[in-house]
Amino acid sequence: MNLLQIYLLSFSLIYFVGCVPQYSNYKYMVFSGEGIAVLKKGQAKLEGLSGHSEMVTGYMLSRDSYKIKLNVDLNSYWPSVFLIAEIDDGSVLLEDDNRSQCGGFYDFPYRKKFEGRKIELRYEWSPPFLCANASPIKSDQVISIKVYREGKLIGNELIKFELDLNGKVLNIDSV
């Protein structure tokens, strides 16, 4: 084998075997319904994101006895949202209600707590291949939480959302 053949073989292997970039759709949560208002707009802060535009990144769920902020996680490749009780004095607390269709709450050390209960939660949606109960894109999804004030249950929330597309993300493992 001469040098040119080795070069062509090496180039062919590199070109055809796995150096083609792969992209996936960037999906984020969109909330609507009674008592939900838009607070702010912005863009995701992800490496490798292209073809995206401004989107709603903050919402407020208002009820007579409490308010909950819904902030889209702009640093996550998965559709996820922070749910934050508006009052940080511990009088309004949030708890997972375990009635969500697909996805879940994830406890991180930096989540804010008061006397062992959370005033801030992070919900992450799971894609269909990880959850048998997941609905396809544009179908209603639900985040379910319990709301407490001073130890008493004051609300059960079923917060509906849809997934929307906003650009493409370069899959890091594909390069």
Confidence of residue 175 (pLDDT cuts 50, 70, 90): very low
d(CA 28, CA 44): 9
State how far the alpha carbon of 72 is from the alpha carbons of 10, 46, 123, 149, 157, in Å. Answer: 45, 13, 10, 25, 18
Whether 80 contacts 91, CB under 8 Å: no
Tell whether 6 is covered by a domain.
no
Report long-range pairs for 81-86 (Cβ below 8 Å, ≥24 apart).
81/29, 81/122, 81/123, 81/143, 81/161, 82/120, 82/121, 82/122, 83/120, 83/121, 83/122, 83/123, 83/143, 83/145, 84/112, 84/119, 84/120, 85/119, 85/120, 85/147, 86/60
The answer to whether 155 and 63 are in contact (CB under 8 A) is: yes
How many angstroms separate the CA atoms of 65 and 93, rounded?
A: 12
121 found inside a domain: yes
Contact (Cβ atoms closer than 8 angstroms) between residue 122 and residue 106: yes
pLDDT in tens, 16-37: 665 566 778 888 899 998 999 9
pLDDT score for 116: 52
Confirm whether 158 is domain-assigned: yes
Identify the residue with better confidence: 119 or 28: 28
Distance, in Å, from the CA atom of 48 to the CA atom of 67, rounded to the nearest integer, reads 35
In a domain, 90, yes or no: yes
| Structure confidence by residue, pLDDT tens digits, 147-160 | 888 888 999 998 99
Cβ atoms of 172 and 22 within 8 Å: the answer is no
Pairwise pLDDT comparison (8 vs 29), residue with the higher score: 29
- Which residues span the domain enclosing 126? 22-174
What pLDDT sits at residue 174? 46
Residue 4: inside a domain? no
Q: What pLDDT is recorded for position 77? A: 81
Domain-located, residue 16: no
Q: What is the mean pLDDT of residues 68-90?
A: 83
- Domains of the chain: total: 1
What is the chain's mean pLDDT, rounded?
78
Establish if 135 belongs to a structural domain: yes
Mean pLDDT of 100-113: 64
**Residue at 164 is within a domain:** yes
